[in-house]
Structure 1
Amino acid sequence: MAEKHHNPSDYGEPIRYDPDFSGPLKRRSCTDVLCLLLLLVFIGCWIGIGLYAFINGNPNVLLVPIDSQGARCGLDSHVRDKPYLFFFDLTKCLQPIPFTGCNTPQVCVKQCPQTLFLLDNINYYRPEDMICTNDVRRPMTKNEALQLVTEGKCARWYLHSESVQKRCLPNIFSQNDLAQLTKIGSNVTVEMLQKVRDSIKIDFEQIGNNIVDDIMHSWWLILVGLVLAMLVCIIYIVLMRWIAAVMVWLSMIGVLAVLSFGIYQCHKNYLYYKEHKVYKDTSPWYQSLLYKPGTWMTLLIITSVILAIVVLLLIFLRKRIVLAIALIKEASKAVSSVTASLFFPIFPWILQIGVIAYAIAVGLFLSTIGSSQFVVENLDGSNCRCTGPAQNYKNNATCDPDIFASNCKEYGNECNPATCHFVGTVSSNLITYLHVINIFGFFWILFFVSGLADMILAATFSTWYWTFRKRDVPFFTVTESTLRTLRYHIGTLAFGSLIIAICTMIRVLLEYIDHKLKKYDNFITKAVLCCCKCFFWCLESFIKFINRNAYIMCAIHGKNFCLSAKDAFNLLMRNILRVFVLDKVTDFLLFLSKILVTAGVTSVAYVVFSTDYVKIVDTSELNYNYIPVIIIGIGTFFISLVFFSVFTMAVDTLFLCFLEDSERNDGSPEKPYFMSKNLMLILGKKNK
């Protein structure tokens, strides 16, 4: 059987010349109204779910402090009446450990200390004033107290304190306390206590105190770095208006230079750590990795492979890069001519941030709706005896903390280490369904906002392309495109985003199933799930590609989603070679530009924060100099995505318009091309 070759005629007839066509239609009707109604009903239900969650949820259950033994203050049976967290030695909080909190014992207490206590001063020692762990029995002598302090079971000193989010922090205005500390030779000062209060930034599990502290000390420098990144993106795009070829080749050379420098640095560090062996077992894991030569060898291999791939791509695509540069230059002209389009993505970006914040808040409140679940822990092997209503309590059985505290005793005292421990919130199946709806709403509305921005930009740039004399482009093109899209095509956006949301939810469900089936470790199950996840990833990517081009066709011709998707698909398939030769090469070159901008700004931040070459800022108060560098690097990448998304949309829109222009017109006086002279010259076309 002869092989079937690609035949453009299989995908419909080329678009015919229409003397009345002059760009995006002004007169059009509403599209996909049923999907619009469905979207409005869903948004109303989503808001209702949010109100229900905010009224009935209590996120404070998730925010209660946790002591060094894992007990939740105010919730677990043995600390039911102890809602506050006390730190044994607050000076250890001056250098907190990331992701674990202060490196000092922490216990739950009934109330924060209201007096001064100094074990080293005999005049102030009373056994009943000692704050210790639950397994310490009183009374005790001072020598016994000193032994317990050495063992980390009791606090040596504390000051007048107040509750800050249920954590006991010293009152820095208690000058008498500081005076007493000074008399016994203590080095605790007002500045030290203030720094302790500032460094203990409370979050869900006391995570990353150092990181938060660094952010608080350098937030304005991070902001300056992000503003610099925004200016670099704007300048970069403006320069491409006149020297597109230079900027594109500069991007390619810059990326190659960055990768080459990375290879050099990785090789240098590999040889150094292989020879000096400075690895220490006592170092934190994230520092230990940097001391291992194997880490740098892995990075060296990865960087080398990436460099080789980029070089090979540039070699094989060198002839196509000239065409791609011409299309990029066209896009830069369009963006420069409609300056408002450059800043337009800021508004959908703010909307997306709002959608993300709302979905997270609803999910957080929903997760706290229901009854608290407690289970018995450490009962077996202890001397704890449960009687009365608690006589049938066993390990891992559900329990009531009040009943446990009243009926489970160890020689007349509270049980230790047996507890009735809080493990979570038990909710009905309704809450599970509401969680699923919330996740689905998050995806749907997020994709909807993204599609809205794409269609508005598509309408803007298609208006620019199909205006024969570019100086006649309307001044309020972005405004007109926004109003036209909001009036006529919200339903189309709802339809397209709904399809992507459904596909994404299927992928999330597959990930959930994969997580649940991991304990079975079945090879066949893993293979089937892997194939399913790969298939739906490809399907989602294809749908996103079709959606993007469908939005462009809808912005131009005003048809519904299905017809727009069909027209876009047929047009692309009739010009499939140009799609791969021109459009995808352009996307690759723009990706290199994003990488170059991100690498450039991040390198400047690294020189400022982590080296001694530039003494512009004082980094002495920072625990980790690289934290601002990482934040600026990540922020720069997302800023470049926001600004270059305009450029990418301009390229995709102009490319689709160019394909339609090539089919609709032939360059004759009656049917002139709308493309620029530069693009016509490169493609071998001209207006007669």
Structure 2
Amino acid sequence: MDDQKLFKFCLSVNVVRSGFRVYFSYHQYDFYSKNPLSEQYKLQPNLRSLISSYFVEARTWLYILIAIAVVLVVILLLVLVFRKRIVIAIALIKEGSKAVSSNLTTVLFPIFPWIVQAAVILLSILMFLYLASIGEPQYKASVSKNASLCTCSDAYANLKNGDICDPGIFNKLCHDTNNRNIQCHGSISCLYIGLNPPRIVQYFKIINVVGFFWLVFFISAFAEMVLAGAFARWYWTIRKDDVPFFNLTNSIYRTFRFHLGTLAFGSLIITICRIIRLILEYIDGKLKKYDNELTKAILCCCRCFCWCLENFLKFMNRNAYIMCAIHGKNFLSSAKDAFNLLMRNVLRVIALDKTTDFLFFLSKLFISLGMAAVCYVYLTSEIFHQHFPHVFLHYPLAQVVFIFLGTYIIATVFFGVYSMAVDTLFLCFLEDCERNDGSADRPYFMSKQLMKILHKNNK
């Protein structure tokens, strides 16, 4: 079954299911309109009955009917507009699977950036702890109501609450009023309140935060550039058997040799945007005590704008790295070429992005749920109790939740390789469509399946 037939089959199934939901909602609405239940039945004391009471009202089913009908119409209109582009997106996902299968080392490659990022996180934490420990200890006096029980002499004779003190001098000059050989206990104390670091330490803390984000984003950009170079090399080779065995290694070398400046510049842009977001969060925390609705609205708009800007910049950086891996230009030129190319094919971009995101999300979700289900069955089975007779789990769902989250995170990391493959092949595909015409001098590099969808062929 080719992509178009598969797409039509899946579309027909979903239309039938949505149509059945519309019919069922209308049937429930019609039934409860003609047979309204008494108010005494609806007003039950427990929460379950209260929730169930909403689904025995005609008005509730009317709202559900309208919502499902609107969603069905919107989906049908989108499918009718994007049907050809969705088919292309599905074909590109298949091509991405072929590219990953031809470069199996790319599946294990994300492990190394993760290890480096973990090292950067550990180094940043150690640096922060070291900077937090720099400074002279500071002590202040605490004077209670029973200050008359303690007598101080010389410089500490008029010691007040909050005055700076030295514990060594305090123990020598302050003693119990009735006995000079007994130190003061509770009435007047010299308490440690923290460190007084030099001013330059604050700047080093700022440098540590900026360096942390810059290095983390740089490592992520490096991984994206390496994968983009490997998959682009695979696409622009007509005979896929001619792709070198050390394709990933060659991409790592090219990235180290030519593109580190590009990665540093691109990651710096994301770092600046993230620092601005942190500053806004800091300002928001400081202004909470004033409870001003205007400032809350302004800060909320600023935070939303910075979040959208950061995600847009990440999207553009990703495509700029792909174009850089294809053509070898600098960051700004690659970003400009990628933006213009995407804008000329904006409908294809929307179709591919949403289709791949939805399919990859379902894949990660099903893998995580499957692993969680297997673990739950194992933890509650007799086999587990036979192997671990002294272990009794009171709440096996807690372990299952942790396994689900861990599996989802790991699946996200490895599905990132497939996502990068699809994005790289998509830009290569757009370049191929605009640059070549199928002639002997400029043949298409796309697969026969894509050429069949586009009704193109090499002469």
Do residues 535 (structure 1) and 300 (structure 2) align? no
Amino acid of the structure 2 residue aligned with 1:355: V
Partner of 1:497: 267
Q: Give the letter for the 1:339 counterpart.
A: L
Is 2:279 the partner of 1:514? Answer: no
The residue identity in structure 2 corresponding to 1:537 is W
TM-score with structure 1 length normalisation?
0.52
Asked if 1 retains the 8 angstrom alpha-carbon contact of 2:150 and 2:184, the reply is no
1:568 lines up with 2:338 in the alignment = yes
Mapped pair 1:650 → 2:415:
no
Match of residue 138 from structure 2: 373
Partner Cα separation in structure 1 for residue 217 and residue 362 of structure 2: 25
- Measured at CA, do residues 470 and 378 of structure 1 come closer, stay the same or move farther in structure 2, by a change above 3 Å? farther
Secondary structure of the structure 2 residue equivalent to 1:422: strand
1:600 corresponds to: 370
1:683 paired residue number: 454
* 1:441 Cα offset (Å): 0.3
Q: CA deviation at 1:383?
A: 6.9
Cα pair 1:386 1:393 within 8 Å, conserved: no
* Residues 7-64 of structure 1 deviation map (CA, whole Å, 9 limit, x = unaligned): xxxxxxxxxxxxxxxxxxxxxxxxxxxxxxxxxxxxxxxxxxxxxxxxxxxxxxxxxx
Which residue does the alignment assign to 1:551? 321
Per the TM alignment, residue 450 of structure 1 is displaced from its structure 2 partner at its CA by 0.7
Partners of 1:497 and 1:595 in 2: CA distance: 30
The answer as to whether partners of 1:665 and 1:672 remain within 8 angstroms in 2 is yes
CA deviation string 1:190-214 (max 9, x = no partner): xxxxxxxxxxxxxxxxxxxxxxxxx
Structure 1 residues 381 and 599: CA distance shift in structure 2, 3 A: farther
Judged with a 3 Å threshold, the aligned counterparts in structure 2 of structure 1 residues 410 and 325 are, in CA distance, closer, same or farther, namely farther
Matched, 1:349 2:114: yes
Displacement of 1:448 in angstroms is 0.7
Residue 364 of structure 1 aligns to a residue whose secondary structure is: helix
Q: Per-residue CA shift, 1:256-296, capped at 9, x if unaligned? A: xxxxxxxxxxxxxxxxxx8699xxxxxxxxxxxxxxx99xx
| Alpha carbons of structure 1 residues 673 and 376: separation in structure 2 relative to 1, 3 Å | same
Instruction: Say whether residues 1:637 and 2:408 are aligned partners.
Output: yes
Correspondent of 1:363 among 128, 133, 150: 128
Counterparts of 1:386 and 1:334, CA distance in 2 = 83
Q: Which residue in 2 is equivalent to 1:127? A: none
SS of alignment partner, residue 615 of structure 1: helix
Structure 1 pair 666/409, CA: closer, same or farther in 2 (3 Å)? farther
Give the whole-Å Cα distance in 2 for the aligned partners of 1:663 and 1:386: 90
Identity %: 53
1:423 & 1:623 partners in 2: Cα distance? 44
Query: Per-residue CA shift, 1:541-587, capped at 9, x if unaligned?
Result: 11111111111111111111111111111111111111111233212
Q: Which amino acid aligns with 1:600?
A: G
> Partner residue of 1:338?
103
CA-CA distance at 1:662 after TM superposition: 0.8
* CA-atom RMSD in angstroms: 3.5
CA distance in 2, matches of 1:622, 1:392: 63
**1:376–1:396: 8 Å Cα contact kept in structure 2?**
yes
1:589 maps to amino acid: L
Cα shift at 1:622 = 6.4
Q: How many residues were matched structurally?
A: 394
Report the AA paired with residue 384 of structure 2: K
Pair 1:656–1:360, CA change in 2 (3 A): same
- Between the aligned partners of 2:383 and 2:89, the Cα distance in structure 1 is 39
The Cα shift of 1:663 comes to 0.5
Q: Check the 8 A contact 2:372/2:404 in 1, yes or no.
A: yes
How many Å apart are 1:633 and its aligned residue? 2.8
Q: Which residues of structure 1 form unaligned runs of 5+?
A: 1-241, 254-273, 278-292, 295-303
Return 5+ residue gaps in structure 2 as ranges: 15-44, 52-63
Q: TM-score, normalising length from structure 2?
A: 0.76
| 2:106 partner amino acid | S
8 Å Cα contact 1:665/1:673 also seen in 2: yes
Q: Which SS does the other structure have where 2:216 is aligned? A: helix
SS in 2 for 1:372: strand
Q: Secondary structure at the match of 1:687?
A: coil
Q: Of the candidates 430, 434, 437, which is equivalent to residue 663 of structure 1?
A: 434
- CA distance in structure 1 between the aligned counterparts of 2:142 and 2:376, rounded to whole angstroms: 49
Letter in 2 for 1:645: G
Match of 1:458 in 2: 228
Verify the 8 A CA contact 1:662 1:673 in the aligned structure 2.
yes
CA gap 1:526/1:275 in 2 versus in 1, 3 angstroms:
closer
CA distance in 2 between partners of 1:562 and 1:357 (Å): 32
On the 8 A contact 2:143/2:160 being kept in 1, the answer is: no
Amino acid at match of 1:453: A
Tell me what 1:285 maps to: none
Higher relative CO (Cα under 8 Å, sequence separation at least 6) belongs to 1
| Cα separation, 2, equivalents of 1:317 and 1:593 | 23
- Aligned residue for 1:615? 384
